[in-house]
A and B are shown apart, each in its own frame.
Chain A
C-alpha cells in the first residue's frame, strides 16, 4: 500500500499522487488563494512554490472581495497564473524533500490583523517557519491530525513537520465538526496540535481512551488547566505541550504547563523589561514593514511574569486584539464593516469571554431612532457575514445610547458581560 500523504474527508492522497501532481503542474501563481481552502491544493502549491523557488503569499480562501481589498489586492491579481518554462520531474519524495531543504531563499508571506490600520503582511524565511520542525527516526511513524486552518502559520508548521518526516496528515479542522475520535482510530493518529477551543469542542464527544496518541500540543489561547486534565485522562501516554506562537515569529516557546521555559539557544534573544513586557530579538521574527523595532528588538505587547530566571508565565496581551478560538480579530476592522450598514450611527466591538472559544465578538451599536431593532440586527449580521470571515462576525448586538470614550478620546473597549469583565488575553 502506498504511503498516505493526506486524508481529507473522503479523499485520500498518497505521496505518489503528490509527486505526480507536482510533475504535472505547468504554471504557478504568486498567491495561494484556494477556494474553500482545499488543503491538498494548498499543500501542493506550497511545495511547488518551494521547488521552483517562487516566494509565495498565502491567503485565506474565504477572504471576501472586501477583505482582499483591505489587503490592497484584487481577485484578478491573486488568481493570475504564469507558465513554467522548464517543468522538473521528480521520482521520489526523498528527492523532493532534499531539494526543499536546500531552498533557503524561499519566503512565504502571511497576513495578520494589526491593532491599527491595514492587516500586516509578515514574510517568513524558510528557516524561520521550519525552525521547530523535528526530524529523525523517532518521528518516522508519526501520523498528524491537521486541526488548524491550513493557511495560517500554525497549520503550515504542522504541515512541514509531517512532510519532512514523510508522515501522514489527517485533515481534521473545521471548528469541531469533524469526528476526531473516528479519525484517530481509522488512521492511527499519534500527534495532535490544536487550539484549546478545538479540544474543548471535540473531546466532549470522545467515548474511549486513546493510548496510541503520544503528542498533544495546544496553544494560541490562554492556558486552561481543566482542559489539560481532560487531555491527560483521554490520552494517558501523550506528552502534552503548551506552545506560545505569534504570526510575527511562529512558535517560540513551549512548556509542559503554564510556565514557559527559556531555552538556552534563544535566551539571549528574548528580554523582559521593567514593565514586564516581553521583547523579542528581530532574528526571531519574519520580515515586515509593519513590525516596528526599537533597535534590534520588538515589543510583543504581551505582559509576562517571571517565575524563576529560566521560567516565565503569560499574564495578558498588551494590545486590543480579540482572540476567538485562537483567531486574532482586530475590533477596528469589524467596526469599519458594521459602520457600512444603513441605520448604524456608531459602534464599538469588544470581546466577550466564554468557556468555549475564549472570546466572542460582541458589538454595542448606536442606531438611528426609527430603525427597527430586530431588522437592524439581521442586517448587521448578514452584512458582516458577507464581508468578514465567520469568527469576526458579531454574535451579540446591543443597542446603546452612546459609545463611551476614555480621557484620551479612545473608545472604552471593556466588555460588560455579567461574568466577563476584562481585557483580551492570549
Chain B
C-alpha cells in the first residue's frame, strides 16, 4: 500500500518535472515535508480516488502520510 502511494506521488513529481522521493515515511506532512500546495493535494486526492476508489478528503483534511494510508485501508 505504502509503495503504491509512493508510486502515485512520484508519478505526480515526474510529470511535473520535479525530483522524486526515495522513501515515504508515515510521519511525513503532505504540506511541510512533501511541499504540496492546494493544487497538488487536489491532484493527489483524484489520483487516489482513481486507484483506490476512496475520497481522501471526504470528512475533513488529511495532513500526513499515515492519515492517507489509514483512509485507504479503511475503504
Contacts and interface: CB of A to CB of B under 8 A. Distances in A.
A307 B74 CA distance: 39
Contact of A381 (B16, B46, B47): B16
Contacts of B50: 417-418
B43 A391 contact: no
Q: How large is the interface on A (under 10, 10 to 19, 20 to 34, 35 or more residues)?
A: 35 or more
Contact of A378 (B17, B57, B59): B17
A88 interface: no
B73 to A, nearest CB: 18
Interface stretch (A107-115, A159-167, A213-221, A351-359): A351-359
Contacts of A357: 38-39, 42
Contact of A360 (B16, B42, B57, B63): B42
Given A175-B38, A360-B46, A200 B17 contact: no
Nearest to A325: B38
Contacts of A374: 14
B14 to A, nearest CB: 7
A418 B37 contact: no
A176 B38 contact: yes
Given A356-B57, A418-B50, A418-B53, A175 B39 contact: yes
Interface of A: 175-177, 197-198, 200-201, 203-205, 226, 324-325, 352, 354-357, 360, 362, 374, 377-378, 381-382, 385, 390-391, 395-397, 417-420
Nearest to A357: B42
A421 B8 CA distance: 23
Contacts of A204: 60-61, 63
Interface of B: 14-17, 31, 37-39, 41-43, 45-47, 49-50, 53, 55-61, 63
B14 A356 contact: no
Given A176-B38, A374-B14, A381-B15, A396 B43 contact: yes
Contacts of B59: 226
Given A177-B37, A357-B38, A397 B58 contact: no
Contacts of A198: 38
A395 B39 contact: yes
